[in-house]
A and B are shown apart, each in its own frame.
Chain A
Amino acid sequence: PGRPPPQRVRFLPTPGHDGATELVPTMVPVLAEHPLVRGPRFRRLKIGAGHRLDVKASGVFVLGIGHGNKLLTDLYNCHLSKVYTVGGLFGKATDDFSDTGTLVEKTTFDHITREKLERVLAVIQGTNHKALLMHSNIDMKTQEAYELAVRGLIRPMGKSPPIITAVRCLQFAPPEFQLELHCLHETQQYLRKVVHEIGLELKSSAVCTQVRRTRDGVFTLDDALLRSQWNLQNIRNAIWSCQVKVQAEIERTLG
């Protein structure tokens, strides 16, 4: 489909009425532009990835195609928080903090209750909040800083170590538990280390069984496409629906 093949005037020999062959000009389609000779029109696609997601984790993964890669850098500079659902298991400790590594030690976990866990989570949230305020480079004594803090918009707008803005315990059924974390500038391995440290704080040990990103800035699980939905129509619809949100967010943050 698309434009018709270009035509060219060629002089083809045809038998004339008196027997001799004459050269007659005729419009002939140029065979060099025929799809079978030229090959497919699109051979490659430039795809860039948003915030990294490592092999053992799953969840929302933002990709930019072609010219959309420029929006990716803008989104990165917005420093929006990401929401993860992290599943853990008490009683074991491995060398790479996840359940597929080599076992280092085994401990008991009968003494752990939900309140102790929530106390530890509150301590973590507190220390991270202090780090957040420190790295966001805003003078604490101004009125402007107070208003931003009330609306919850204090964010480090530059490079910073991983910061957890909020933690919540979703499920607690010993030895398994599930947490929901809102974080900035983190890697999945850092989250697994946090799970390990929670285990140590509770005088036991913990490994991380599942890391799942439920939100990446403006993109939620509802916008995400499953492996069976990876075709042209769905991708186009997804781009269309997310365009407005992305534009609004970039304008709001970067001005």
Chain B
Amino acid sequence: DWDDVPPSSALEEISEEEAVQIIAEPLLPLQSSTLRDYVDHSETLAKLVHLGVDLSQVEKRQKAGQLLLTLDFEKDIKKILLFLKDVGVEDNQLGKFLTKNPYILAEDLEALETRVAYLKSKKFGKAEIAQMVSRAPYLLLFSVERLDNRLGFFKNELGFSVKKTKDLVIRLPRLLTGKLEPVKENLQVCQIELGFQRNEIQEIVFKTPKILTASRNKLKQTFDYIHNIMGIPHHMLTRFPQVFNSRLLRIKERHMFLTFLGRAQYDPAQPSYISLDQLVSLPDEVFCTEIAKASIQDFEKFLKTL
């Protein structure tokens, strides 16, 4: 009504004590594409930054930024971090782990524990589980049936025993988290186009499992060069499959240098034989001085004439 006391207007003067007690901060933006605006006002985000999580990478993922803001450090994140420490992930690796896989913070603790128990029941040791989890952060997101299917898939496709499959998976845990169709196609390519026998493929995959995840075109090009132009037969390639891992340009340069010097001898029966793994894995200086018996300047000058 008109007789009631009118509400105090904003332009009235107030006493000093009242003024000090007013806290006025600019509002947080309601919508933003970066986490930078919220990091100063959120304890969770601040603690994650101190742990080492790279927020600029996380905010690029779908919905991961939203997830981090809604979680509370004390209640949810702490439990999962303690669980990861139990599994064996190091303290300094936690930041990298969470950067690659922030979705693990939304998982249920019991589900994670069942999965670790499943891995232990398959007789993976504690250190091995720790290593697999640190190298493939998505591993614990997969349910037990999915992990089971994938292990079974690798056992059947490659024809390995249980122990060998386990060994393979420990060395390259990405096999379990990656897609399966490229792996199948790579195996088909190895068998049909490259012409390897089944036991040869098994040996190669056991020595260099990365060949299953390599790109098909590069694999074909590398094999084409090595087999047709360098003239290396299949059984040599089975003994030294590391050549498939290295870059084609490197192999080409070194091979052309050796042919120029007249030292390109890949047959173990002949004298001054050069093994394929030495060709590929040695750094440039050692390669020049020991294998090619020439100086690095000669190598560089030769490369400039190609």
B70 to chain A, nearest CB (A): 18
Q: Which residues of B contact A20 (CB under 8 A)?
A: none
- Residues in B54-99 with C-beta less than 8 Å from chain A: 54-57
Main secondary structure of the interface of A (DSSP, over half): mixed
Scan A6-46; emit 1 where CB is below 8 A from any B CB, else 0: 00000000000000000000000011101011111000000
Task: Decide if B55 touches A36 in the complex (CB within 8 Å).
Answer: yes
Q: A31-B46, A221-B304 are in contact. Are A227 and B249 (CB under 8 A)?
A: yes
Given contacts A30-B40, A212-B305, A224-B304, 19 further A-B contacts (CB under 8 A): A31-B40, A31-B45, A31-B46, A31-B49, A32-B36, A32-B37, A34-B49, A36-B49, A36-B52, A37-B35, A37-B49, A38-B36, A38-B56, A39-B56, A40-B56, A58-B306, A226-B300, A226-B303, A227-B303
Q: Which residues of B contact A58 (CB under 8 A)?
A: 306
In this assembly, does A233 line the interface, its C-beta being within 8 Å of a C-beta of chain B? no
Contacts A/B (CB < 8 Å), 6 sampled? A32-B40, A36-B54, A37-B49, A221-B304, A226-B303, A227-B249
In this assembly, does B53 line the interface, its C-beta being within 8 Å of a C-beta of chain A? yes
Q: Which residues of A contact B189 (CB under 8 A)?
A: none
In this assembly, does B298 line the interface, its C-beta being within 8 Å of a C-beta of chain A? no
A229 to chain B, nearest CB (A): 8
B272 to chain A, nearest CB (A): 25
Q: Which residues of A contact B300 (CB under 8 A)?
A: 226
Q: Which residues of A contact B54 (CB under 8 A)?
A: 36
- Which of A37, A38, A212, A226 is most buried by chain B, counting CB atoms within 10 A of its CB? A37
Main secondary structure of the interface of B (DSSP, over half): helix
In this assembly, does A243 line the interface, its C-beta being within 8 Å of a C-beta of chain B? no
In this assembly, does B39 line the interface, its C-beta being within 8 Å of a C-beta of chain A? yes
In this assembly, does A237 line the interface, its C-beta being within 8 Å of a C-beta of chain B? no
CA distance A221 to B40 in the complex (A): 53
Q: Which residues of B contact A30 (CB under 8 A)?
A: 40
Counting residue pairs across A and B whose Cβ atoms lie within 8 Å, the total is 39
Query: Which residue of chain B has its CB nearest to the CB of A59?
Result: B304
Query: Which residue of chain B has its CB nearest to the CB of A39?
Result: B56
Q: Which residues of A contact B (CB under 8 A)?
A: 30-32, 34, 36-40, 58, 212, 221, 224, 226-228
Q: Which residues of B contact A (CB under 8 A)?
A: 35-37, 39-40, 45-46, 49, 52-57, 249, 284, 300, 303-306
Task: Decide if A228 touches B284 in the complex (CB within 8 Å).
Answer: yes
Query: Which residue of chain B has its CB nearest to the CB of A29?
Result: B40
Q: Which residues of A contact B249 (CB under 8 A)?
A: 227
Task: Decide if B284 touches A31 in the complex (CB within 8 Å).
Answer: no
CA distance A37 to B56 in the complex (A): 5
A105 to chain B, nearest CB (A): 26
CA distance A31 to B53 in the complex (A): 13
Task: Decide if A226 touches B56 in the complex (CB within 8 Å).
Answer: no
Task: Decide if A37 touches B36 in the complex (CB within 8 Å).
Answer: yes
B280 to chain A, nearest CB (A): 15
Task: Decide if A37 touches B39 in the complex (CB within 8 Å).
Answer: yes
CA distance A34 to B53 in the complex (A): 11
Q: Which residues of A contact B36 (CB under 8 A)?
A: 32, 37-38
Q: Which residues of B contact A221 (CB under 8 A)?
A: 304
Task: Decide if A36 touches B56 in the complex (CB within 8 Å).
Answer: yes
B202 to chain A, nearest CB (A): 35
Q: Which residues of B contact A36 (CB under 8 A)?
A: 49, 52-56
Q: Which residues of B contact A224 (CB under 8 A)?
A: 304
Q: Which residues of B contact A226 (CB under 8 A)?
A: 300, 303-304
Query: Which residue of chain A has its CB nearest to the CB of B48?
Result: A36
Q: Which residues of B contact A40 (CB under 8 A)?
A: 56
A-B CB proximity, top 10 nearest: A39-B56, A32-B36, A37-B55, A31-B39, A36-B54, A221-B304, A31-B40, A37-B39, A226-B303, A36-B49
Query: Which residue of chain A has its CB nearest to the CB of B37?
Result: A32
Q: Which residues of A contact B39 (CB under 8 A)?
A: 31-32, 34, 37
A215 to chain B, nearest CB (A): 12
A169 to chain B, nearest CB (A): 18
CA distance A136 to B49 in the complex (A): 65
Q: Which residues of A contact B45 (CB under 8 A)?
A: 31
Q: Which residues of B contact A34 (CB under 8 A)?
A: 39, 49
CA distance A31 to B305 in the complex (A): 52
Q: Which residues of B contact A37 (CB under 8 A)?
A: 35-36, 39, 49, 55-56
Q: Which residues of A contact B306 (CB under 8 A)?
A: 58
CA distance A59 to B37 in the complex (A): 49
CA distance A27 to B193 in the complex (A): 66
CA distance A38 to B305 in the complex (A): 45
Q: Which residues of A contact B303 (CB under 8 A)?
A: 226-227
A54 to chain B, nearest CB (A): 16
